[in-house]
Amino acid sequence: MDRTNKVKSIAVLTGGGDAPGLNAVIRAVVRTGLGYGLKVWGVKNGFGGMVENQIIEMTGESVAGILPRGGTMLGTTNRDNPFRYLTVQNGEKVYSDMSGQALENLRQHDIDALIVIGGDGSLKIGAEFYQLGLPVVAVPKTIDNDIPGTERTFGFDTAVGVATDALDRLHTTAESHHRVMVLEVMGRYAGWIALHAGIAGGADCILIPEIPFSIDSVIDKIKERQQRGRLFSLIVMAEGAYPQGGEMSVGRIVEGSHEKIRLGGAGEKLTREIESLIGVESRCTVLGHVQRGGTPTAFDRVLSTRYGVAAVECLLAGAFGNMVALQKNEIIRVPIADIAGITHNVSLDDELLMAGRAIGISFGD
């Protein structure tokens, strides 16, 4: 496709795991595109929909009432990669490069450019299509907040709110039964959700992947509280947290997915270890996909809307190959090639992490 052509028709897709605010981005893309006189298409079910030609025309009515809804009206998947697409030939699973078919389907609908709403896996695929000549603009989506180049991904604020609410509820039951309560939260290989929710929810110990923990340090924190008459403790644990000298807990392996390794089980392992070492009754709560679902917060709705508008305007400006991002409360553009495949982790001198240390939170080190 010739990038010098004036953009008259655009498509939008959502890839990877769902996140609160996806519908708000779609709504903003459609309304902004129509406002500029563009024809707007929606690709259903992520990049798989590009290959399978699941492309529908979007109108104002298409996005009516979806602003407060969680999930994505277009559907999504984290398993389909057009450059390594799973097909069945003669009864056997075969991975083939179907990127050409995906591009041809866009051409059949006279689509000039694509907006990809997704996390690191989707951004990498978007970057590959851009290298093939497709005008692409990306919107950073993940509850994990682990995409570099932006201070916030939409969905993160909602996920932190869910985790904080869970901590508030666990606090009362932990205090009543004199228990150690471990809350395992999502985040993959980054500890942003655990850090923010732990601070907001008054956790006594926050365990994140960036700081391998010592079980002795965790036990010391529990005992120190007991000595002060605090017979319960709250621990927030990122799913990717792991002990010094140990490894992350893998829940399962999903073949054919952008993310074959699915983390899980770290919280339950920790509770069993605490009980065996000091005999304190301990319980683990795994929030899992509860963090992904439901109504997005006002912050995520506003950020999603800003991203959607900026993505369309980025295409109209001919600034292809960029991701819209938030920096110092301004929407900027970051080259996708600079951030695709890179994880944004919590730095050891992060201001919030240092604030947690200052108020006595243990990070297990």
The per-residue pLDDT for range 104-153, each reduced to its tens digit, is 999 999 999 999 999 988 999 999 999 999 999 999 999 999 999 999 99
Q: How many CB atoms lie within 10 A of CB 36?
A: 15
Q: Report d(CA 258, CA 345) in Å as an integer.
A: 19
pLDDT tens profile 173-182: 998 888 999 9
Q: Domain 9-154+296-339 falls in which CATH fold?
A: Rossmann fold (3.40.50)
The answer on pLDDT for 4 being more than 80 is no
Concerning whether 350 is annotated as a catalytic residue, the answer is no
Whole-model pTM: value is 0.92
Q: Report d(CA 20, CA 294) in Å as an integer.
A: 7
Fold matches, 9-154+296-339 and 159-292 = yes
| Mean of pLDDT over the chain | 93
Which residue is it, tokens 């800003």? Answer: 306
- Out of 18, 144, 146, 300, pick the active-site residue: 144
pLDDT tens profile 6-46: 899 999 999 988 999 999 999 999 999 999 999 999 999 99
The answer on pLDDT for 239 being more than 90 is yes
CATH superfamily for domain 159-292: Phosphofructokinase domain (3.40.50.460)
SS3 at position 11: strand
Q: Which residue in 154, 114, 110 sits closest to 138, CA to CA?
A: 114
Q: Are 57 and 39 in contact (CB under 8 A)?
A: yes
Tell me 243's DSSP state. B
Residues in a beta bridge with 362 = 205
The answer on pLDDT for 261 being more than 80 is no
Radius of gyration of the chain (CA): 22
State how far Cα 250 lies from the chain centre: 18
Alpha helices in the chain, H assignment, sequence order: 22-35, 46-51, 99-108, 120-131, 156-177, 192-200, 215-227, 266-278, 298-316, 336-339, 351-358
Average confidence (pLDDT) over 249-272 = 78
Q: Report d(CA 2, CA 361) in Å as an integer.
A: 55
pLDDT given for residue 192 in this prediction:
97
pLDDT given for residue 258 in this prediction:
60
Please write down the HEC assignment for all residues of 300-348: HHHHHHHHHHHHHHHHHCCCCCEEEEEECCEEEEEEHHHHCCCCCCCCC
Which residue is it, tokens 């993959």? Answer: 188
pLDDT tens profile 57-101: 999 999 999 999 999 999 998 888 999 998 888 888 888 999 999
Q: How many CB atoms lie within 10 A of CB 170?
A: 22
pLDDT tens profile 294-344: 999 999 999 999 999 999 999 999 999 999 999 999 999 999 999 888 899
Domain extents for the chain? 9-154+296-339, 159-292
Higher pLDDT, 218 or 79: 218
User: Phi first, then psi: what are they for 37, rounded to 5°?
Assistant: 85, 20
The answer on pLDDT for 1 being more than 50 is no
